[in-house]
């Protein structure tokens, strides 16, 4: 049978549920140790002038020790039982005395450790009051009085010290558990954010590529009959778009793949940059609507993550145009100012539709990640559709 772990409250058989088995073992061991201590005066040779040690006296001495087995369950009751048995021994039999009140000290220590303040202080006052008549009945000497007060005060102090130490250990264990839970929650949140980011990237790559290939494939049969050279260009565009999507997917999956054989890490290519935006516009333009791009203001250096975000926002906006707008013309505007970059994508298509699709949600999330804003709705004059994103940028340092 497996032994319960230390501190476990599970129990079987006669063991009470409130007390771990290890605590019972300790209490039984303490009881046996005290019993051995109080037995010594009965086994060592005695002076001929002293009364002999009797079995009745030894049995009554053992009776003062037995309550210690239950000292954790009822500390105050055990101490009172020990004091009562001790008084009966002192006044009822003429047996050998003890160099120290072992049972009383252990019981008083347990009260100081486990009892709540009110009964603990009441018992402390009772013990203090009992010390004086006990010393007066024995020798009446100041030395014995001071020694008795000292040992009982030491037992009380050790009990309070043990209580404080256990409380500190419990607090540290609780703190460690809370930190573990906090770290696990933070790890799960980080994993969720990473999954959301990967989902956005996958959506942007696949949605853009598949949308362009569908549009170009649909235009292919018509071009074959009317303009074979345009059909060839459409098929080339489909092939190029597919290859580009595969390259980006391999790049992303290579980062995610874990190499469990100790080999070199997978290659990690950078995210698309703002400088690659003309290539994106050419791919859309080759098989879809006419796309124009205007840049105003003074372009300054952008952080790599901001440039990748602008690329992905324009890519998703153009993908929505190709998939849903049925537009013939799209305008991409980049307006640079010292403190922000405004990205506007406007088409002349069939106008506002849903503004809660995954693509638009991804655009808003990308903008929010850079402390920016995103708005999507009807274009100027209520015609077409417009996506407007404002991203703050750090001002250029003065030279």
Considering the domain boundaries, does residue 29 fall inside one?
yes
Residues 6+ apart with CB under 8 A from 15: 21, 24
Q: Which of 95, 122, 138 is at the close of a domain?
A: 138
Reported as a pLDDT band with limits 50, 70 and 90, residue 1 is very low
pLDDT (average), residues 310-329: 85
Are the CB atoms for 216 and 286 separated by under 8 Å? Answer: yes
- For 173-193, the pLDDT digits (tens) are 899 888 888 888 888 888 787
pLDDT (average), residues 238-255: 67
Is pLDDT of 259 > 60?
A: no
| Structural domain that includes position 96 | 21-138
Query: 211, 390, 215: which is closest to 313 by C-alpha?
Result: 390
pLDDT (average), residues 321-347: 89
Q: Which residue has the higher pLDDT, 388 or 63?
A: 388
Considering the domain boundaries, does residue 233 fall inside one?
no
Residue 258, pLDDT score: 52
Q: Which of 116, 138, 160 is at the close of a domain?
A: 138
Give the E-state strand segments of the chain in sequence order.
290-296, 329-336, 340-347, 373-378, 385-392
Compute the distance between CA of residue 312 and CA of residue 201 in angstroms, rounded to an integer: 8
Residues 6+ apart with CB under 8 A from 135: 141, 144, 145, 148
pLDDT (average), residues 99-118: 85
Query: 366, 367, 385, 365: which is closest to 376 by C-alpha?
Result: 385
Q: Which of 113, 138, 163 is at the close of a domain?
A: 138
Residue 305, pLDDT score: 83
pLDDT (average), residues 223-241: 65
Cβ count within 10 A of residue 288: 21
CATH code at 312? Answer: 3.30.565.10
With 0.85 as the threshold, say if the pTM is over it. Answer: no
Least confident of 129-133, 256-260, 324-328, 341-345: 256-260
Residue 223, pLDDT score: 60
Q: What is the mean pLDDT of the chain?
A: 77
Considering the domain boundaries, does residue 385 fall inside one?
yes
Considering the domain boundaries, does residue 214 fall inside one?
no
Least confident of 144-148, 162-166, 172-176, 395-399: 395-399
Residue 389, pLDDT score: 94
Pairing of strands 340-347, 290-296: unpaired
Identify which of 8-17, 63-72, 226-235, 331-340 has the greatest average pLDDT: 331-340
Query: Three-state DSSP class for 113?
Result: helix
Give the length of the chain. 399
- For 46-85, the pLDDT digits (tens) are 677 666 777 877 888 888 888 888 888 888 888 888 888 8
Is pLDDT of 267 > 70?
A: no
Is pLDDT of 99 > 90?
A: no
Residue 3, pLDDT score: 44
Considering the domain boundaries, does residue 188 fall inside one?
no
Could you tell me the strand order of the sheet in which 373-378 lies? 290-296, 329-336, 340-347, 385-392, 373-378
- What six digits make up the tokens of 112? 């100081």
Considering the domain boundaries, does residue 235 fall inside one?
no
Considering the domain boundaries, does residue 250 fall inside one?
no
Number of structural domains in the chain: 2
Residue 15, pLDDT score: 42
pLDDT (average), residues 280-289: 80
Greatest pairwise CA separation for the chain in angstroms: 136
Considering the domain boundaries, does residue 397 fall inside one?
yes
Is pLDDT of 105 > 90?
A: no
- For 147-158, the pLDDT digits (tens) are 878 888 888 888
Say if residue 261 is exposed, middle or buried (CB neighbours under 10 Å; 0-12, 13-18, 19+).
exposed
């Amino acid at each position: 049978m497996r032994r319960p772990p230390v501190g476990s409250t599970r129990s079987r058989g006669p063991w009470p549920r409130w007390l771990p088995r290890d605590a019972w073992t300790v209490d039984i061991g303490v009881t046996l140790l005290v019993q051995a201590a109080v037995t010594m005066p009965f086994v060592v040779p005695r002076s001929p002038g002293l009364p002999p040690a009797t079995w009745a006296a030894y049995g009554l001495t053992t009776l003062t020790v037995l309550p210690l087995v239950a000292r954790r369950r009822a500390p105050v009751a055990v101490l009172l039982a020990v004091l009562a048995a001790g008084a009966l021994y002192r006044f009822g039999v003429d047996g050998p005395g003890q160099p120290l009140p072992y049972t009383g000290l252990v019981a008083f220590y347990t009260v100081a450790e486990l009892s709540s303040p009110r009964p603990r202080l009441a018992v402390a006052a009772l013990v203090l009051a009992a010390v004086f008549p006990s010393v007066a009945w024995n020798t009446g000497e100041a030395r014995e009085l001071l020694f008795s007060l000292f040992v009982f005060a030491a037992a009380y102090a050790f009990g309070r010290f043990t209580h404080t130490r256990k409380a500190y250990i419990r607090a540290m264990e609780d703190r460690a558990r809370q930190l573990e839970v906090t770290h696990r929650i933070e790890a799960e949140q980080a994993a969720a954010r990473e999954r959301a980011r990967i989902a956005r990237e996958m959506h942007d790559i696949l949605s853009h590529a598949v949308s362009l290939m569908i549009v170009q494939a649909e235009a292919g049969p018509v071009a074959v009959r009317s303009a074979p050279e345009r059909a060839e260009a459409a098929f080339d565009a489909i092939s190029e778009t597919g290859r580009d999507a595969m390259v980006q997917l391999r790049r992303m999956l290579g980062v995610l793949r874990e190499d469990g054989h100790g080999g070199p890490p997978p290659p990690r290519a950078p995210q698309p940059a703002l400088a690659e935006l003309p290539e994106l516009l050419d791919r859309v333009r080759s098989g879809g609507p006419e796309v124009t791009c205007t840049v105003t203001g003074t372009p300054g250096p952008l952080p790599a993550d901001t440039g990748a975000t602008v690329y992905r926002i324009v890519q998703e906006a153009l993908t929505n145009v190709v998939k849903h707008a049925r537009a013939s013309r799209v305008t991409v505007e980049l307006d640079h100012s010292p403190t922000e970059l405004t990205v506007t994508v406007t088409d002349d298509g069939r106008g506002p539709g849903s503004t809660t699709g995954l693509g638009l949600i991804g655009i808003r999330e990308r903008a929010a990640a850079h402390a920016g804003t995103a708005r999507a709705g009807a274009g100027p004059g209520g015609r077409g559709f417009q996506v407007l994103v404002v991203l703050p940028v750090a001002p250029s340092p003065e030279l």
